[in-house]
């Protein structure tokens, strides 16, 4: 039967199944292929916290959503056009998000009585009328996969594991994606087990040609490459970008990079990624706990390295006493906090933005430090590099904020030329003449001295320091002076960071302020609403402490200020306290990023009141 070809500007597909069904692999391979093809894209991986949740259960569902387009896009999209459901639980969990009239590709082999009961179905939705609003395509994915690999001598378990590639091949046919990128990946990934490589390749091709030959598909879709600015691109996740950013800061500054870290979701990938760059002189230390990790990083900074530690919210809480030591001894240190749902262990694999107040105010006494946040996965490179620049220039620990959505999400990244990156000038004091540990330069930064430098022997520690000499001091006036000096140093950083930019009119009825990973949803909402005739301005804050020095003036020029954030209004509180402005808070604490339509609804409400 001849297939109709439909050209689309963008499409959204979600793979969903058990945590052992390989949905993250299927999604990441579809993403990589689309990136090589030249599409702009944005992804949303979503997986359970359990390493292997009970098969067939609702809480064991793993998903991966990708939007790919021939135009600029800013988010993974609100509603999938296609849902690939590998079992009943995947269908039940994800159906609420599927676009009305969208397509369901269901692995009919998994819709057994047992699996239907586990998912809470009283009848088979593939056979009743409950899915009448959607286009439902039954595919015997498991049986077809087993048939494709039956002569390779695999056991049943290994054969069944190939079914994600069968589903992937089918979606490649549906959206006119080439197979070569994935076949090359399979051959490299399983080169030590050629029979597994062959099985996965066969499954991929079998799924592709099923789409070509089965008469149940009447239409396939084409999404042309995007017209991106000239340059060399790669697909990058937020954690990969952060790893490359801190590595580039090390190379640019000439400082050896030391990462002291303890594995914690969703930050562990940074430890894995950075550890692969030993050829750049990088040293990584997987510590026994979070406290040891940050203390080792502080020790590395004391020794003249670029100290770095990565963690998530629970780990940041444990590190705070040591971070406070770094505040007192005034050593450069970069702390990457990849935020996740809390409190306590909370939602380890889900995203949140609820560590802002902990980052800004989370230490004992008066201990300010700079806090920066990335806006997109690729922006993690820029902002962690900037965090290192500030840490070295001002001799201070810096907290870099990302979150699970940015860390695991991916997008095309135009690789910068390292010559174009801002300079990071590391100055070590070598002249003993007139040296004191707490002399200060024009940035109020104290001297950085490598231990063992002749004539510059000195002591540092957590007890309060006498101004200039660095001797231990309990003098009340000196303590107040030092507290004010440390605070002034951080405040003065506003003179060395960019002014806040506003997109749209410089004044008006409504300003939408975002920070962190809300960037994509706000941008998509603004584009959608502009096409409908609504007008408002937006500002995205990357420097959260100190704020850009013109931010207060910007806020005063708008009648209403809306702040969407994935917490209970933490940035809203900081803006109200700092600038005494009325802020409307739009909050979401579900372990999921904002959808554009959620912001659109609130904006329309505010503009039409």
Q: What's the CA gap between 511 and 506, in Å, rounded?
A: 9
Average pLDDT over residues 432-448: 97
Whether the predicted pLDDT of 215 surpasses 90: no
Give the CA-trace dihedral at 446, 450, 452, 453, to 10 degrees. -70
In whole angstroms, what is the distance from residue 8 CA to residue 309 CA?
A: 43
User: d(Cα 451, Cα 459) in Å, to the nearest integer?
Assistant: 10
C-alpha to C-alpha distance for 355 and 565, rounded to whole angstroms: 11
Cβ contact 35:76 at 8 Å = no
pLDDT in tens, 504-540: 999 999 999 999 999 999 999 999 999 999 999 999 9
pLDDT of amino acid 217: 87
C-alpha 177/C-alpha 222 separation (Å) is 9
**Rounded mean pLDDT of the chain?**
96
Q: What is the per-residue pLDDT for 609? A: 82
Cross-strand pairs, 284: 259
Q: Is 380 exposed, middle or buried (0-12, 13-18, 19+ CB in 10 A)?
A: buried
Model confidence band, residue 430 (pLDDT cutoffs 50, 70, 90): very high
The predicted pLDDT at position 453 comes to: 96
Domains and CATH numbers, the chain: 4-223 (3.40.920.10), 234-420 (3.40.50.970), 508-608 (3.40.50.920)
pLDDT at 1 over 70: no
Can you give the length of the chain in residues?
Answer: 609
Report how far residue 104's alpha carbon sits from residue 14's, in angstroms, rounded to the nearest whole number.
10
DSSP readout, 454-502?
A: TT------SS-B-TBT--B---HHHHHHHHHHHHHHHHGGGGGSPPPP-
The secondary structure of the chain in percent helix, strand, coil, rounded to multiples of 5, reads 40, 20, 40
- Locate 307 and state its tokens: 């100290």
Residue 185: the pLDDT is 97
Residue 67 has pLDDT above 80, yes or no: yes
Q: Could you report how far apart the first and last alpha carbons of the chain are, in Å?
A: 54
- What pLDDT digit, counting tens, does each position of 21-60 carry? 999 999 999 999 999 999 999 999 998 887 778 889 999 9
> What is the pLDDT, as a whole number, of residue 228?
87
Residues 564-605: tens digit of each pLDDT: 999 999 999 999 999 999 999 999 999 999 999 999 999 999
């Amino acid at each position: 039967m001849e297939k109709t070809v439909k050209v689309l500007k963008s499409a959204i597909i979600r793979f969903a199944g058990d945590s052992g069904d390989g949905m993250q692999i299927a999604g990441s391979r579809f993403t990589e292929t689309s990136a090589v093809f030249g599409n702009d894209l944005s992804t949303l991986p979503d997986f359970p916290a359990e390493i292997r949740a009970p098969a067939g259960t609702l809480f064991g569902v793993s998903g991966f959503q990708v939007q790919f387009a021939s135009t600029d896009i800013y988010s993974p999209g609100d509603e999938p056009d296609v849902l690939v459901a590998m079992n009943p639980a995947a269908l039940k969990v994800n159906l609420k998000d599927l676009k009305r009239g969208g397509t369901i590709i269901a692995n009919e082999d998994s819709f057994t009585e047992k699996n239907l009961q586990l998912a809470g179905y009283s009848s088979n939705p593939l056979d009743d009328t409950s899915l009448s609003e959607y286009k439902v395509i039954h595919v015997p994915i498991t049986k077809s996969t087993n048939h494709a690999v039956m002569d390779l001598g695999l056991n049943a378990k290994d054969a069944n594991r190939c079914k994600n590639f069968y589903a992937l091949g089918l979606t490649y046919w549906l959206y006119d994606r080439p197979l070569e990128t994935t076949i090359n990946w399979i051959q490299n990934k399983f080169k030590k087990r050629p029979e597994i490589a062959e099985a996965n390749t066969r499954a991929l091709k079998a799924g592709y040609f099923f789409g070509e030959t089965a008469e149940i598909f009447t239409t396939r879709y084409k999404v042309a490459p995007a017209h991106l600015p000239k340059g060399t691109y790669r697909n990058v996740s937020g954690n990969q970008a952060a790893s490359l950013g801190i590595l580039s800061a090390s190379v640019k500054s000439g400082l050896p990079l030391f990462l002291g870290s303890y594995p914690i979701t969703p930050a562990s990938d940074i430890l894995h990624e950075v550890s692969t760059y030993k050829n750049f002189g990088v040293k990584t230390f997987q510590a026994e706990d979070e406290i040891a990790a940050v203390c080792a990083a502080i020790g590395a900074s004391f020794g003249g390295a670029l100290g770095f530690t990565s963690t998530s919210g629970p780990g940041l809480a444990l590190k705070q006493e040591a971070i406070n030591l770094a505040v007192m001894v005034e050593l450069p240190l970069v702390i990457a906090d990849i935020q996740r749902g809390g409190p306590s262990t909370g939602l380890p694999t889900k995203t949140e933005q609820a560590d802002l107040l902990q980052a800004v105010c989370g230490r004992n006494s008066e201990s300010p430090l700079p806090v920066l946040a990335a806006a997109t996965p690729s922006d993690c490179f820029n902002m962690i590099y900037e965090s290192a620049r500030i840490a070295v220039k001002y001799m201070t620990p810096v907290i870099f904020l990302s979150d699970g959505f940015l860390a695991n999400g991916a997008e095309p990244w135009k690789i910068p030329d390292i010559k174009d990156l801002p300079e990071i000038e590391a100055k070590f004091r070598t002249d003993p003449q007139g040296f004191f540990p707490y002399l200060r330069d024009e940035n109020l930064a104290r001297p950085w001295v490598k231990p063992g430098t002749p004539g510059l022997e000195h002591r540092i520690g957590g007890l309060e320091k006498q101004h200039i000499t660095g001797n231990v001091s309990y003098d009340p006036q000196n303590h107040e002076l030092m507290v004010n000096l440390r605070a002034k140093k951080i405040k003065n950083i506003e003179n060395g960071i960019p002014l806040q930019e506003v997109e749209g009119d410089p004044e008006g009825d409504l300003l939408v302020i975002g920070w962190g990973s809300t960037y994509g949803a706000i941008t998509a909402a603004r584009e959608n609403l502009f096409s409908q005739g609504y007008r408002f301005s937006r500002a995205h804050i990357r420097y959260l402490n100190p704020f850009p020095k013109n931010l207060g003036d910007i806020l005063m020029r708008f009648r209403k200020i809306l702040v969407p954030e994935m917490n209970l209004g933490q940035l809203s509180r900081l803006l109200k306290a700092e600038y005494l402005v009325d802020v409307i808070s739009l909050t979401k604490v579900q372990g999921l990023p904002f959808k554009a339509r959620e912001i659109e609804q609130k904006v329309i409400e505010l503009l039409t009141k």
